[in-house]
Amino acid sequence: MEKGKKLYEGKAKIIYATKDKNQVIQHFKDDATAFNNLKKATIEGKGILNNRISEHILSNLSQIGIKNHLVKRLNMREQLVNHVEIIPIEFIVRNIATGSLTKRLGIEEGTVIEKPLLEYCLKNDKLGDPLISREHILTFNWLDTKELDLINDECKRINDFLQGMFRAVGIKLVDFKVEFGKKKSDNKIILADEISPDTCRLWNSVTEKKLDKDRFRKDLGNIIEAYQEIAIRLGIIHEQSNIRPLKFTKPREVKLKKK
């Protein structure tokens, strides 16, 4: 697959054109950012693991009828995906209270949310991805009622499926973020972006050890080992897999800018 020009570079991924205007290449970088870009690092091997984990999850979601952008994985770091216009909203589903929810509303950390909670955030780094309501989405025509209802239903189905998938391998799906896009070819809404330990909170069911990007956000160390554990538990890689040199490499650069 011939790679064309770079169309977009985000914090963790790059999108390249292909000869087909309806398909692009999604490249997974090793870069990690947190706290609206205040904290940055390169975590060797992260892109390779996220590529494999997201491929596994999105192809499983396809099999239960959740349409998404994945066409096929091309190599260690790249996927061929349908070209979409990303809807500028982050859809967040929560099963257990933690993170920004506990800070914002004072809900006790670890509270089990009986009926999964769906939140919307505007995808805007300059504004710090603010929380928005259904009314904001409809008022500013980011989506119409039918489109929003369709995405809400898809988020619930994705949550049900992922919760079961992770529960079966001893992991709690605490919360996650998904993004949707409109296909360039026919404007239909499909799931896009990635689903990986970068975009989910995943805790060991018994010990509640964090196996996701919170290890980076909270300086807990052993980030790659945690992502590898997710891939091993899901049966994507074997314990001996050499995703990166065996010696532990510390994140190369960790910058914390003062506000």
Binding interface with ligand 5GP (CB under 6 A): 90, 92, 99-101, 129, 175-177, 198-201, 213
Q: List beta partners, residue 191.
A: 68, 180
Token pair listed for 115? 């009926």
Token pair listed for 50? 């996220």
Q: Report, in Å, the least distance between residue 204 CB and ligand 5GP.
A: 16
**Which is closer to ligand 5GP, CB of 1 or CB of 113?**
113
Q: Report, in Å, the least distance between residue 238 CB and ligand 5GP.
A: 27
* C-alpha to C-alpha distance for 152 and 246, rounded to whole angstroms: 42
Tokens 């800070």 -> residue: 103
Closest-approach residue to ligand 5GP (CB): 99
Q: Report, in Å, the least distance between residue 111 CB and ligand 5GP.
A: 13
**Which is closer to ligand 5GP, CB of 144 or CB of 208?**
208
Q: Report, in Å, the least distance between residue 175 CB and ligand 5GP.
A: 4
**Which is closer to ligand 5GP, CB of 176 or CB of 227?**
176
* C-alpha to C-alpha distance for 75 and 52, rounded to whole angstroms: 9
**DSSP conformation letters of 217-238:** HTT-S-HHHHHHHHHHHTTSS-
For 64, 197, 221, the CA distances from 47, given in Å and listed in that order, are 26, 11, 17
Q: Quick check: helix, strand or coil at residue 194?
A: coil
Q: Report, in Å, the least distance between residue 171 CB and ligand 5GP.
A: 13
**Which is closer to ligand 5GP, CB of 61 or CB of 101?**
101
**Which is closer to ligand 5GP, CB of 128 or CB of 248?**
128
